[in-house]
Structure 1
Amino acid sequence: MTTVLLAEETAGGPAHDVALGPLLLRHGLGEARDILRVYSPEPTAAFSRRDTLRPGYPRAADAVRRLGFAPVVRPQGGSLAAYHRGSVVVDHVHRDPQASRDPVERFQRFAALHAELLVRLGAPARIGPVAGEYCPGEYSINAGGTKIVGSAQRVTRDGWLFSTVIQVTGSGGLREVLTAAYRELGYDFAPATVGALEDVVPGVTVPAVTAAVRAAYGSTGPAVDLPAVLSRPD
């Protein structure tokens, strides 16, 4: 398996971030079958297409914008997730037209991978949802009664994109923006379920988690620059 780690300097803002994964899935990057991007984004409120159909979506987008988070619409499923410089986002693209279209095995496999790396960092991480969590999912990862990891995926004829957000620091800011947006969207939501890794592992840092992610994925390849077709997606 070939894994390519995209250079951090390729980050171009929230709209670029959510567009890049699908573009890599469609166009690829050289001969790489597996493409891994690990980064810490600018403050982003990633709505799903389902969220945009809610009557309160325009108000929710305005609410997150007032709190300094850029509203974007991501191609993966689920519902609104927020992240910022205290988060580690992992976008894993696997390009294979014959790849399984069944999402459950991937959710199970990557939840186990992520829970294990968090345990190694000292967190009492467990797989499973917390009642009232944002973007609820069977394979969320919780610790200390709060959600700290969520994942979503997209499957196409080219393969799949599996995206994961690990909340490392700054749960207070995330809680504020999610509370404001979920109120407007009209979803059931318990603000106390929003957490970050530092809440249960004091002193943990984004670079430490980024290094742990790279190690867990076996990513030892060099960072690469993007071709022009991918560097500035529309």
Structure 2
Amino acid sequence: MSAGATTSAGPAEAPADDGEVLRWAEQPASFGAAEDLEWASTELGAYRAAAAAGEPREDLIRVYVPRPTVAFGQRDARLPGFEAAAQACRDHGFVPAVRRAGGRAAAYHPGCVVVDHLALQDDAALTQQARFAEFAELFVAAFARAGVASSIGKIPREYCPGEYSIQGPAPAHPVKLAGAAQRVVKGAFLFSTHVVVADPAPLRAVLTDVYRLLELEMDPRTVGAATDVAPGVDVPGFVAALKTEYAGWAGSRGLTLTEAPLPPHAAAA
């Protein structure tokens, strides 16, 4: 959430002091499927260390366009069909990776955007549901700004199901436009959202095979993209809309959205 001297403000907390910033970092290119996920985990470790030491650390929004990836949840990796599902990913041209945040398998590629929000927060474990609700509303507003109608709520038999999924009213069947997962450590959190903007067919194909091999229920019709709702939207347009919404979110908390490079360890990822 919003950055503070030692902790970030949660959804119901007061605005931060003057002069604080919300860092916005657009990653120039993917480091690699597994490396992109590991980058976020490594950075979360830096936030945990700052929290333990009582040191300030500003919020960071990291935005990147991923390589073709299927991010499995840790529960997926323990299922009997996992190895076959991982091979199916490779057969479809996707790299299988296991993420540390929760949820079931989700797929993304260069028609998507991944947004990681890292922050200090003392009560991060107690405010997880509030974060899901708050950031779902922010992403719905970003979709609206980009000209895409959307709403919050689980679609029956959707992939990576969640109460705060963002869905779009596609002509044939509602489609999942974005999903989020969290990882919480003592004094900090990582809130990661993947957004499907365009080209859903490869995602639908790989997820259909993955869920079948994992023996998990999934309706392929729920795999879609923002272009199913508004054909003219594209990745740069959505990122610009999201940045504007985050600037407003930051301003309401006494923060200034500031463009920033990724922290130095990203260069070695």
Which bracket does the TM-score occupy, shorter chain normalised? over 0.9
Count of residue correspondences: 232
Which residue matches 2:268? 232
Normalised TM-score (structure 2) = 0.81
**Amino acid corresponding to residue 227 of structure 2 in structure 1:** E
C-alpha deviation, 1:31, in angstroms: 5.1
Residue 96 of structure 2 is aligned with which of 62, 66, 71? 71
Residue 137 of structure 1: aligned partner: 162
Kept in 1: contact 2:73–2:102 (CA 8 A): yes
- In the aligned structure 2, how far is the partner of 1:89 from the partner of 1:82? 11
Distance in 2, matches of 1:125 and 1:225, equals 30
TM alignment of 1:129-168, pairs within 5 A: 129-144=154-169, 145-168=174-197
Partner Cα separation in structure 2 for residue 188 and residue 116 of structure 1? 30
How far apart are residue 221 of structure 1 and its match?
1.4
How far residue 10 of structure 1 moved from its aligned partner, in angstroms, is 6.0
Q: Which runs of structure 2 are paired with 1:71-90 in the superposition (5 Å)?
A: 71-90=96-115
Partner of 2:23: 4
SS of the aligned residue for 1:224 comes to coil
Q: TM-score, normalised by structure 1?
A: 0.93
Structure 2 counterpart of 1:23, from 27, 35, 42: 42
Give matches, 1:183-198, under 5 Å: 183-198=212-227
Deviation of 1:231 (Å): 3.3
Structure 2 SS opposite 1:122: coil
User: C-alpha displacement at 1:25, in angstroms?
Assistant: 1.5
- Deviation of 1:32 after TM superposition, in Å, equals 3.5
CA–CA distance in structure 1, aligned partners of residues 175 and 186 of structure 2: 35
Larger radius of gyration: 2
Two-structure CA RMSD over aligned residues (Å) = 1.8
d(CA) in 2 for partners of 1:54, 1:131:
22
What letter corresponds to residue 135 of structure 2 in structure 1? Answer: F
SS in 2 for 1:41: coil
Tell me if structure 1 keeps the 8 A contact 2:27–2:262.
no
Q: Structure 1: where are the runs of 5+ without partners?
A: none
Report matched runs for 1:34-53 at 5 Å: 34-53=59-78
Counterparts of 2:122 and 2:32, CA distance in 1: 30
* Residues 38, 91 of structure 1: 8 Å contact kept: yes
Q: Larger deviation: 121-130 or 171-180? A: 121-130
One-letter amino acid of the counterpart of residue 210, structure 1: V
Question: How far apart in 2 are the matches of 1:56 and 1:27?
Answer: 35
SS in 1 for 2:116: strand
Instruction: Verify the 8 A CA contact 2:211 2:218 in the aligned structure 1.
Output: yes
> What do residues 11-35 of structure 1 show as CA deviations (whole Å, max 9, x unaligned)?
3111111111121111149954211
SS of equivalent to 2:198: coil
The residue aligned with 1:96 is: 121
Displacement of 1:59: 0.2
In 1, Cα distance between equivalents of 2:123 and 2:216: 37
Shift of 1:98: 4.3
Runs of 4+ in 1 over 6 A off after TM superposition: none
Instruction: Compute the displacement of 1:94 (Å).
Output: 0.8
1-side partners of 2:237 and 2:201: how far apart?
A: 21
For structure 2, which runs of at least 5 residues remain unmatched after alignment?
4-20, 248-255
